[in-house]
Amino acid sequence: MSPALGLYFNWGPMSIATGPITPLIYMLALLISLPTAISYAMVSKEIPAAGQAYTWLWHAFRPGYGLWTGAILVLYYVSGLWIVNMFFAVFFGEFLRYFGVPASPIGGAIGMLIMAAITAIVVYRDIQFTARVALGFMIFETGVVSALALTIVFVQGSHGKLSFAPFSFPSATAGFNGISTAVIFGILSFIGYDYACVVAEETKTPRRLIPIAVILAAVTVGVFWMLGSYAYSESIPLSQLPGFISSGFTPITPIAKIYWGPGNILITITGLTASLGIYVAIVPATARILFAMGRDRSLPQSLGKLNARYQVPFNALTVVLIGGFVGALVMAILQQSYFNAYVWFGEISVFFALVTYIAVNLASISFYRRFRPQKFNVVWNLIVPIVGIGIDLYILWQSFFVALTSSGFALGQSVVLFAVVWCLIAVFYVAALRLWVPHLFQAQSYVLPETVE
């Protein structure tokens, strides 16, 4: 959930899918995300655990439910790694072209290796250092994105070319199916507000701050994207977007060249720093999921070990860094385009995010009923989760099993097929653990002391 990347990459596909109404798409995505964000806040303050939804479902229901959710959660976070690799590869290619170096797949791969190396230097240290680095990158990127948006509004406004079409649903160009497809990328922009729940155990964040961090992150960045996307929607005729994307650029870079001239290099630089900043955040978050599962022995125990000096999961971090690079490179080769690979990974990430969100909403209901009956609130622990489940199920059906299944194989049907197959693999994974590690189903997933009665 990067302020810059949520616009740089998602605004273009959203605009192509549904026209100028991207501010409304971001608003819909925020409203879709809020019930689940509230459930994350409610559960995480009672069970701060590195395993997040995996641990919560284990305790709220039974180990088998948690283990299945763990397999889904891993793909949700790993697909996020692959997405950020695509971010960096595209912007690294733009950076090289700025200095006259022809674009090539090899250049993108070199860029991903550079990002992995820099990230390794940062994340093998303690989590507080990692957080400071990520925050510094975020402040820089937010300033540049805001400056470009203000420039567009000033220039277009001075020529009388601003309109309210982006805030009108009738301005949508592809009807309900287009909106359904665009919402996938809107939701993708919001993915990441749950990372605070994963690192809460390691940072020893006070419980009262976890809900505030989750909700504030979602709302603040949502409003930022609504305002920013309005400016970008008014910047050029949207018919030019497919040409920008097919040329290997994110559409924001050519737009910045129109308004800033050579200063558009700032967009490329912020794209690189934003990618690096979010990678520095998502790598330890993903590693913490593997660490939690390794600690419980639902994955190899070696993943559940901490480095003696820095108290970070060294083995899990190494697996994540290697897997992030290799998986991203393979899909980029298959799709023959880093941007197309990004779209594929983005759709996969949203699918598994929605499944995880349904699980978290269920955990909020069950955990408070079973373990915190004195704190159970009909609104926050029943109505809100049910609304979240209903929304997530509807989006899963409409955006994936309706819209994507009719969108061709490469960027549509293959996504749904892979997602369904992985869900079935998760079932076999739980069955195999029950057969080979039966004592696991009588154990408890680790949480901080005095969190579950």
Percentage of the chain exceeding pLDDT 90 = 58
Q: Helices (H) and strands (E) in the chain — how many of each? A: 18, 0
* 231-257 pLDDT per residue, tens: 999 999 988 888 877 765 678 989 999
Domain boundaries, the chain: 5-442
* 315-370 pLDDT per residue, tens: 999 999 999 999 999 988 887 788 788 889 989 999 999 999 999 999 999 999 99
Q: What is the pLDDT of residue 225?
A: 95
Give the C-alpha separation, 353 to 79, whole Å.
10
What pTM was estimated for this model as a whole?
A: 0.87
* 31-57 pLDDT per residue, tens: 989 999 899 988 988 888 888 899 999
Give the C-alpha separation, 16 to 343, whole Å.
13
* 378-415 pLDDT per residue, tens: 999 999 999 999 999 999 999 899 888 888 888 889 99
Q: Are 191 and 278 in contact (CB under 8 A)?
A: no
In angstroms, the Cα distances linking 203 to 50, 130, 131, 177, 200 are 10, 11, 10, 43, 5
Residue 426 has pLDDT above 90, yes or no: yes
Give the C-alpha separation, 328 to 89, whole Å.
10
What would the 3-class secondary structure string for 127-160 be? HHHHHHHHHHHHHHHHHHHHHHHHHHHHHHHHCC
Which CATH number applies to 5-442? 1.20.1740.10
